[in-house]
Chains A and B, each alone.
Chain A
Amino acid sequence: MSQRQVDADFLALPLDACADAALAHAQELGAGHADIRVVSLRTSMLNLRDARLDGAVLDHDKGLSVRVLVDGCWGFAASDVISPDAARATAARAVALARVSAPLTTRRVVLAPEPVHIGSWVSAYDIDPFAVPENERIALMADRSSALLGHGAIAHVDASLMAVKEQTFYADVAGTRTTQQRVRIQGEWQAVAIDPDSGAFETMSTTAPPAGRGWEYLLGGGDEVGGARPWDWDDEIGRLPELLGEKLTAPSVEPGRYDVVIDPSNLWLTIHESVGHATELDRALGYEANYAGTSFATPDQLGLLKYGSPLMHVTGDRVAAHGLSTVGWDDEGVGAQSWDLVRDGTLVGYQLDRSMAAEFDLPRSNGCAYADSAIHTAIQRMPNVSLQPIADGPSIEGLIAGVEDGIYIVGDKSWSIDMQRFNFQFTGQQFHRIKSGKLAGQLKDVAYQATTTEFWGSMTAVGGPSTYRLHGAFNCGKGQPGQVASVSHGCPAAAFESVNILNSVQEGGR
């Protein structure tokens, strides 16, 4: 647990007074359950184009919300005024809405029990990015952009920096009161190369993951814990021009079946889409059917479904060091945990919130409730979902050495998967041809397409701990009204046999 404290400006808000007012009034009005969240969310976004600031936004969103259960019906209301009076009035609006909703609610909501928690938790970071003057942040982004623009092959450079500080107070009628502060950061540089004669162009982005860290991460610093490691920005940016120049003139891939080695910088997104979302119990039960979709991994197959090869061990957790989904408690006051989702290639678990746990007759939620702001209600969101490495598994070089004729895929780019998480298609940043166990130049126009269980069933080798990295995203979307969540995915490199490779130019009919 971090030695830091939650910032004084958040603690200075009338948190307990708001909770007392809202929870007491909700109960007076007949709510069986009530909880209140007070949220302060700071977001800084910088965009640079060709080493010049293009746009900068600093947003500070704050407010409170009250969620109630009245006779098993949900009611929710929010306000951006943080005061006991506003909390009390918001509670009344939430109860009123629950009563209005009752005639349409046939399934009464029950919450799985949870011990009472009282405490404070702060994520692990060294330098608060909001304490770093904006000109320093811009200068770092511009310097690295200029380094890229100094190479003749690079026509343009786009750079972006996003930093978030999220502070949450949660209290409920059972007595839980928690205060948390999380900091996360993401930096990206994308270089563009253009062939002036043909008009063809290619892009290549850095593959550095977003992290639950502070400004030190952008400076190349920070501790190393498991798959969460500092990033060598100068090294990656230094290699980018040559890689992009080679990609621009690389041969277009011949479509067909290939053995592939997938780097963690790409495979994390495949895990996210085909395992992370597929093992959300609310989705598997149908609660997301109108929007995000359902899941092929239905509850009747728990313990039976062969998800992938016996090498496949996927965990869910909210405790990984520097994980983007890591918390002390979730947004229903449930303590952070870790558990198995897929073990030995078989589906063995789901992601839960308290209502899903109760509906599934489980004694406790595994703590996956989250709301992205005060104005949205908590729903089940993804924890850190990670493919575990093999203790004595090979290095990336070892995985590549095991492939006679294939492709090594690095970095994520476009992604798409169907409404039941069967059929997916991904591209990447770099596609290196493998011949006789060695890299043999890049290919371009590559996309890989598969069905989830077929793909994971074709996993022939999983890398060792040296290949394991924590990647992830800030922008996972779910729910109506739409919410975003940040999530990490620990991931080793892995090898797959006979994967369907498409040529994106041919797919486009050119």
Chain B
Amino acid sequence: MSTQDYFVIRPQEIVERALASSSSRACVVIVSCRSVANMRWARTTLTTNGETSHVSVSVIALVDVEGGVAAGSITGRVATSEDIDALVVSAEEAAHHGGPAEDARELVTAIEASADWDDAPEEATSAAFTRLAPDLGAVFSAARADDIEHFGYAEQAIITTYLGTSTGVRLRFAGPEARLELTAKSHGRSRSVWAGRADRTCASFDLGELDRELRQRLQWQGNRIEVASGRHDALLTPSATADLMIDLYWNSIARPAHEGRSVWSRPGGGTRVGELVGDPRFSLSSDPAMPGLEASPFVATISSSASGSVFDNGSPIGATKWIDHGVLSHLITSRFTAEQASLEFRPDAENVRVDVESSHGTLDEVIARTDDALLVTCLWYNRVVDPQTLLLTGLTRDGVYVVRDGEVIGAATNFRFNDSPVGILSRIVDAGATVPTLAREMGDYFNRAAMPPMRIRDFNFSTVSQAN
């Protein structure tokens, strides 16, 4: 039996039934069909796996109440038409309880329906691993012969979103996401390395290439070099860059900036939009149409927040340069917060890209032109310590390597870092070409990123971590 059989009612029918059932001023229905196949391994053996399908239906009722319009949002699972009707009633009740919403606006209209609106939800199955599984078996066999242990995870997911509104909007987006992570350990687990990839399909992953990368790094760890904590030049891989830049992107929200409680707040009031905030070569952008990193081109949110509004559902998401050649150009807004902060309406897209002008070369080529730096494989457990500067703390993980005169000469310990993704924008020494990557930590939630390797001057490796 296919997982398709579990989509009891077609998503389009759910949308139409809910909208027809609504008696409120306006209504938004979002059906999210998530299909996932995954496999996980540890100690060079498969441990868990799964194939799951999940359909969630969100009804957002917009009702007239004293003083304005209120929103009520209910999410649930539906198996019958009566379930849909019950969700609508619950959403309308919730709206009446909520009081007038300050972000209330008319719903968008005149949006052309998606050409694939009538298509069924897309599906991920373990067939996605047809090529990967035997390749992984070969890697396991070779690893056992060389006393290398393997740990990792592969996932193929597809989320198909249907959005309908009482103002006639009918939009659909199917977003495939695949990721592969491998950790290898050797020499009694005293050496540990990681490599990860993100793409739209698991079929594109080259396990042989990843295995060669892992083995090279295990070899690098054969020579341990003592490096004291403190400020050193850091050569961040695209993955490490991604973890810092996704944090920066997610914290680029207009409302807290306008309210004076963000790194993007201007002392005395207002935001820092228009200010030079970093190296003039640096740009950070998002674009739903970014090739290979395609993301939903419309707003689909089940709850208002600092960064979005349920009243904006269906609004197009365009390409935005948030930081353009070092200048903070836009912050994430809803129509409401854009008016509040006197900024343009700029909803965020679920992808992000960093470019450093004139940068070039692969990571290996950047290493070859680096005289003295610590190469950081990836970052982990990153948390905001000081929102005024967006100071983050976190740890290097699975490999910090000493680069001298264009070569990796050995491995250092791991370190705890304390530094700011805003602060480092003014300390870019060198960068390579931008490539798709998987952020080690943020990749769990956000895996459409393209980043360059970046060399950062005086990165704060605050203390030594004994972890390996």
Contact = CB atoms under 8 A, between A and B. Distances in A.
A249 interface: no
A141 B228 CA distance: 49
4 tightest A-B contacts by CB? A199-B267, A135-B97, A507-B418, A55-B303
B53 to A, nearest CB: 7
Nearest to A288: B42
B467 A101 contact: no
Contact of B394 (A58, A287, A416): A416
Given A289-B42, A447-B393, A77 B51 contact: yes
Interface string A375-410: 111010000000000000000000000000000000
B220 interface: no
Interface stretch (B235-243, B278-286, B354-362, B384-392): B384-392
Contacts of B397: 293, 418-419
Contacts of A293: 380, 397, 467
Given A93-B1, A416-B416, A508 B149 contact: no
Interface of B is mostly: strand
Interface in A453-482: 480-482
Contacts of A192: 259, 261
B44 A106 contact: yes
Contacts of A60: 74-77
Contact of B149 (A199, A286, A375, A427): A286
B463 A133 contact: no
Interface stretch (A79-87, A164-172, A311-319, A341-349): A79-87
B155 interface: yes
Interface in B373-417: 380-389, 391, 393-395, 397-398, 414, 416
A63 B133 contact: no
A507 B75 contact: no
Contact of A507 (B155, B266, B391): B391
A79 B6 CA distance: 7
Contact of B414 (A200, A376, A418, A445): A418
Interface in A488-510: 500, 502, 504-505, 507-510
B434 interface: no
Contacts, number: 286
B50 A54 contact: no
A138 B43 contact: no
Interface in B28-47: 36, 38-47
A289 B388 contact: no
Interface string A129-162: 0000111001000000000000000011000000
A481 B396 CA distance: 22
Interface string B251-263: 0000000011100
Contacts of B85: none
Contacts of A100: 49, 126, 133
Interface string B87-127: 00010011011110110000000000000000000000010
Interface stretch (A68-76, A230-238, A239-247, A434-442): A68-76
A80 B78 CA distance: 9
Interface in A38-69: 45, 47, 49, 52-63, 65
Contacts of A509: 419, 423, 458, 460
A141 to B, nearest CB: 12
Contacts of A52: 99, 102
B43 A287 contact: yes
A104 B47 CA distance: 9
A417 interface: yes
Interface stretch (B165-173, B178-186, B291-299, B312-320): B178-186
Given A138-B99, A502-B462, A286 B42 contact: yes
B47 A287 contact: yes
B8 interface: yes
A86 B76 CA distance: 18
A417 B99 CA distance: 42
B11 interface: no
Most buried by B among A73, A76, A291: A291
Interface string A175-195: 000000000000000001010
Contact of A199 (B46, B266, B395, B467): B266
B73 A481 contact: no
A394 to B, nearest CB: 31
B388 A200 contact: yes
14 contacts: A56-B72, A74-B48, A103-B133, A133-B97, A138-B98, A155-B260, A192-B259, A199-B266, A285-B43, A289-B192, A415-B383, A418-B397, A507-B462, A508-B423
B73 A57 contact: yes
B438 to A, nearest CB: 12
B391 A504 contact: yes
A505 B71 CA distance: 41
B259 A156 contact: yes
B393 A425 contact: yes
A457 to B, nearest CB: 15
B151 interface: yes
